[in-house]
A and B are shown apart, each in its own frame.
Chain A
């Protein structure tokens, strides 16, 4: 066998490749499979949160804001616990970002609230003196795209088996569930119900009126997403 391999360099090369590739798989795959499992407490996005995530991507928030807290004391003091890979299990695509013109947002939901986001997105410099972030006032008028968010939810549930309507363990030892409606109308109704809870904490009368009329402005979806980042 070895004499034969030595006389056939092509198959020898194939054998070398297979040996090294196997060693690589043994090294990489088990750890990868373990690390990519959702961490306890990580939940799939609701319809409204996902619509907000689309707003986040559409406006290229990730160009200035990262979502990756590195394990350094200076970072964890400011942003909270360092990021774990399993926390991105339902992020498609992940929004780690590679540049921090603004601060990291991976746990912004833990230390900012709806009313702060509302003030900040309307006029960032009014809340953060010297901020160079632009205002995003059109988000207070443009309707969020719930249809696409629901389509994505259906897709990831079917293709990646994302646990919608299933019990998910939480950090306190209990379980929770993220609902996915059976129909688009149901999803819209769920998103509107969630939007109403957020709009109740907001002050902008136009936003409140839109939500009361059954429309969801982008800002509400975005705040739902940001509040969910913990």
Chain B
């Protein structure tokens, strides 16, 4: 018998014995447990196949003689036979070629990882969830959402309590301050709030119907305090004679003519968020980074502050 075959048989016996010992001594033994039986069968099959293949190729290396026609190319004495390409290799080669063309044209461009693509998916998923969760909000939920938006986006200027941080920004706990009213009366307003096309004129265009003359400094001070106090106190006649024509007798404004100056409305806040504002205190930028739902929620929150 050949030495290699003999080594194979001995190895097979050793591996079978090792399997028997390893599994036979575990709980369940060799035959009582279907899993153990299968494991033994698998281990024996693996050992048998491995030994058969190794023996076959070692024998082949010992006995095979090189035959066939040599190619003309020769690399330092190492030559190459002109053998046919095995059919399996040829099929594999053609298959990979076809796959490569697909991968180059469609596979990679369509499926490649993209950071921006991942971002877009993240945003789309978040928006879908957000829209589903807040499709029909009641006013209390809007106010709650508005407060959290306020703390992130508005509090840096208006303060956590919306008090405007000592006059550094508008105090949103009240509709207007006397300073702002005075500024608007003196300089006019061109904020195009709520779709109004006509800008509010400055003091040179504001007549007091009671005196039939332009509004005076003293009247401006009085009416500014009147509006800032929530339409109370002195100045009701001046307001009625000068401001009420556009802002309404109660200061609640008129659609497409003038905004509400007696109190906040969500529409007014949304308009300021869309367009920004430049007034007595300074310049507020537009906040178009917020979605329409968020702006509306913020409007409800700010309206709720002065109610």
Chain A, interface SS category? helix
The docked-state distance in angstroms from the alpha carbon of A76 to that of B75 is 62
97-139 of chain A: CB within 8 A of chain B: 110-116, 119, 126-129
The CB with the most chain A CB atoms within 10 A, among B116, B160, B168, is that of B168
Q: Is the CB of A80 within 8 A of B289?
A: yes
Q: Does B28 contact A (CB under 8 A)?
A: no
Q: Is the CB of B282 within 8 A of A201?
A: yes
Q: Does A214 contact B (CB under 8 A)?
A: no
Q: Does B119 contact A (CB under 8 A)?
A: yes
Q: Is the CB of A72 within 8 A of B119?
A: yes
Q: Does A78 contact B (CB under 8 A)?
A: yes
- Output the least CB separation between A133 and chain B (Å): 12
Q: Is the CB of B285 within 8 A of A115?
A: no
Q: Does A141 contact B (CB under 8 A)?
A: no
| Chain A residues with CB below 8 A from B287, complex form | 111
The docked-state distance in angstroms from the alpha carbon of A72 to that of B123 is 8
Q: Which of B160, B169, B289 contacts A77 (CB 8 A)?
A: B289
- B119 nearest in chain A by CB position: A71
Q: Which of B122, B160, B289 contacts A111 (CB 8 A)?
A: B289
Chain B 112-135, CB-CB to A under 8 Å as 1, else 0, gives 000110110011001000000000
Q: Is the CB of A78 within 8 A of B123?
A: no
| Chain B residues with CB below 8 A from A166, complex form | none
Q: Does B284 contact A (CB under 8 A)?
A: yes
Chain A 61-90, CB-CB to B under 8 Å as 1, else 0, gives 000000000011100111010100000000
Q: Does B281 contact A (CB under 8 A)?
A: yes
| Chain B residues with CB below 8 A from A71, complex form | 115-116, 118-119
- Output the least CB separation between B79 and chain A (Å): 14
Chain B 40-64, CB-CB to A under 8 Å as 1, else 0, gives 0000000000000000000000000
| Chain B residues with CB below 8 A from A6, complex form | 75
| Chain B residues with CB below 8 A from A129, complex form | 160
Chain B, interface SS category? helix
- A82 nearest in chain B by CB position: B119
Q: Is the CB of A114 within 8 A of B282?
A: yes
Q: Does B152 contact A (CB under 8 A)?
A: yes
Q: Does B82 contact A (CB under 8 A)?
A: no
The docked-state distance in angstroms from the alpha carbon of A110 to that of B282 is 15
- Output the least CB separation between A77 and chain B (Å): 7
| Chain B residues with CB below 8 A from A128, complex form | 156
- A75 nearest in chain B by CB position: B119
- Output the least CB separation between A223 and chain B (Å): 11
Q: Is the CB of B168 within 8 A of A73?
A: no
The docked-state distance in angstroms from the alpha carbon of A44 to that of B12 is 80
Q: Does B165 contact A (CB under 8 A)?
A: yes
Residue positions of A touching B, CB distance < 8 A: 6, 71-73, 76-78, 80, 82, 110-116, 119, 126-129, 201
Known interface pairs A114-B283, A115-B281, A126-B166; 15 further A-B residue pairs with C-beta atoms within 8 A, sorted by A's residue number: A71-B116, A71-B118, A72-B119, A73-B119, A77-B289, A111-B289, A112-B156, A112-B157, A112-B285, A116-B156, A116-B168, A126-B165, A127-B168, A128-B156, A201-B282
Residue positions of B touching A, CB distance < 8 A: 75, 115-116, 118-119, 122-123, 126, 152-153, 156-157, 160, 165-166, 168-169, 281-285, 287, 289
For the complex of A and B, 10 pairs with smallest distance between CB atoms: A115-B282, A71-B119, A113-B283, A119-B168, A73-B122, A111-B285, A73-B123, A80-B289, A73-B126, A116-B157
Jot down 27 A-B pairs with beta carbons below 8 A, ordered by A: A71-B118, A71-B119, A73-B123, A73-B126, A82-B116, A82-B119, A111-B285, A111-B287, A111-B289, A112-B157, A113-B282, A114-B282, A114-B283, A115-B168, A115-B282, A115-B283, A116-B157, A119-B168, A126-B165, A126-B168, A127-B157, A127-B165, A127-B168, A128-B156, A129-B160, A201-B282, A201-B283
